[in-house]
Amino acid sequence: MDNLMNFKQEIHQLLDRGMHSDAKAKIKEKLKQLILEDENSFLYLAEYAGFLIDIGSEALDEEAASLGVKLLQSNETDLKSVVSEQSFNYCLANGMDALYKIQEKDTGFPTLEMIRPNLANAKNYYYKAFIAIDLKEINHLDLQILTNLGNNLSRAGRIIDSIRLYKVVLHAHPGFPQASAGLAYSLDKWL
């Protein structure tokens, strides 16, 4: 597990410096070496898939986001045995959301073909993750789920719903930066 922690730190440093291609190359090399045989190997796979999705979202890298989503979908049962279903659904939603953002950037205007497989599926997986939230005891993952669901709903034109979610987050954690930014964006769209 120390190897995973060191690797995660190395990847985070690369991402913080905007070195997405280097991070992706390191992850793909680790994937080639990974033998899926036990619980630890699936924990590694979950981390690698999550990093690829982060790279896809941050760098608008369709290959990275697609690979992350594919790894999650093709190993769903095994991954859900080592990570919570809430965490799995959140990560898969982030991957689909990244694919939507990439396609939207490339086309300039979302088409029904783009919305259905990516934005709508991302919303469905965010909702699956949302169901597990205890709104009386919101943790950091819950804050991320609520914020990203809000972002998704805002992009889908459901501004009032997104504002409500941002307000829940900001009530639980005043000044949470992603929710503050999402709220500002949604209010600007609404007005």
Q: What is the pLDDT of residues 107-139, one digit of tens each?
A: 766 667 766 678 889 999 999 999 999 988 999
Question: What's the pTM?
Answer: 0.90
Question: Quick one: angle between helices 140-155 and 121-131, nearest 10?
Answer: 150
Report CA dihedral (163, 169, 175, 178) to the nearest 10 degrees. -70
Rounded to whole angstroms, how far apart are CA atoms 147 and 151? 6
Decide if 83 contacts 43 (C-beta within 8 A).
yes
Rounded Cα–Cα distance for residues 16 and 22 (Å): 12
Model confidence over 156-186: pLDDT tens digits? 889 999 999 999 999 999 999 999 999 998 9
Query: What is the C-alpha to C-alpha distance for residues 189 and 150, in angstroms, rounded to an integer?
Result: 13
Q: Where are the beta strands (DSSP E) in 43-149?
A: none
Tell me the average pLDDT across 68-88.
96
Instruction: Say if CB 54 and CB 15 are below 8 A apart.
Output: yes
Nearest to 97 by CA among 83, 85, 110, 84: 110
Distance CA 18, CA 89 (A): 26
pLDDT tens-digit map of 33-56: 999 888 989 999 999 999 999 999
